Chain A
């Protein structure tokens, strides 16, 4: 009966020394170590299966405190490794039976990992959410967002005209159109982007509609431009509030290259 498994955090290029991650501690407080093979390195930690095995994980994943703490450590380890260069993050709770099987993965999926590393090198993932205030969109209460004398963008002008007539249904259509436009606008400053399902309203803790839950892969040299674009859209779009998160390790852009 196995008592230990191998929790994997990320894959990086090159074959790192066994103790390259020595100062890092993982989800079980274990030292993060390297498993190398095929010109790649997996950052892993040995974990006890009575806490991190299949049955234990099924139970723990329902425990918010455990889930949050483990997610934070998993992310912290990957983020720290990402400081040193490109990483392909592994989904949380990927536990191998032993190091040999990790090496087997590195060999079997070598080309995919290399492609994924190429794709995310010198790039960062940034999240952008757009929240719509239906009342502001339909003009039920004055917008108050534009100071007199401030130049309205064309879209903002049209928005103001439409607000006078719009119903709640219209507000949703307007918000959806904004979301499409915002996503398209941000893609111009990104290498890639995708729209994720909106977080549940109870999860966001916000009253407004989440009309966009986007995430974008941005060249490191363009991050400032991207942030400025988000700020500009936020300013120029009454009734829509943008929230930016990150930079994140490329969780949303490495998996689709390697995914099995």
Chain B
């Protein structure tokens, strides 16, 4: 089993999980009280464009190093 601790020194490893939560989770407020940026579609599109670059930043070896 691999253990990843986002709050400690393995944050690099947890980037995918972090983005999965801060961009897809949390309370979404829409309407004219905010700027119209908390938009799920926008974020999904952004993540798609980021997949290749994120992948290159997270070689399998790094993930393996995260083993607790």
Question: A-side interface residues toward B, CB under 8 Å?
Answer: 5, 8, 11, 49, 53-54, 57-58, 61-62, 64, 67-68, 71-72, 74-75, 79, 88-97, 101, 104-105, 116, 127, 196, 199-200, 202-207, 213, 215, 230-231, 234, 241-248, 251-252, 254-255, 258-260
Contact = CB atoms under 8 A, between A and B. Distances in A.
Given A75-B18, A88-B27, A202-B51, A58 B4 contact: no
A248 B20 CA distance: 12
B55 A205 contact: yes
Given A90-B29, A205-B60, A243-B1, A54 B23 contact: no
Interface of B: 1-7, 11, 14-31, 33-38, 42-43, 46, 49-55, 57-60, 62-63
B24 A196 contact: yes
Nearest to A8: B29
A47 B56 CA distance: 31
A123 to B, nearest CB: 15
A76 B66 CA distance: 19
**Helix, strand, loop or mixed for chain A's interface?**
mixed
Contacts of B6: 75, 79, 245-246, 248
A102 to B, nearest CB: 8
A43 to B, nearest CB: 13
Contact of A252 (B25, B30, B37): B25
Nearest to B43: A61
Contacts of A243: 1-4
A252 B15 CA distance: 16
B53 to A, nearest CB: 5
20 contacts: A54-B37, A61-B42, A64-B50, A71-B19, A72-B18, A75-B18, A75-B22, A91-B28, A92-B22, A92-B23, A95-B35, A116-B27, A127-B17, A203-B58, A206-B63, A243-B1, A248-B21, A251-B26, A259-B27, A260-B29
A258 B53 CA distance: 33
Given A62-B49, A242-B1, A243-B1, A255 B34 contact: no
B31 A255 contact: no
Given A93-B37, A215-B21, 10 more contacts: A91-B28, A91-B38, A95-B37, A200-B55, A202-B51, A203-B16, A204-B58, A242-B1, A245-B4, A251-B26
A86 B52 CA distance: 36
A95 to B, nearest CB: 5
Nearest to A2: B35
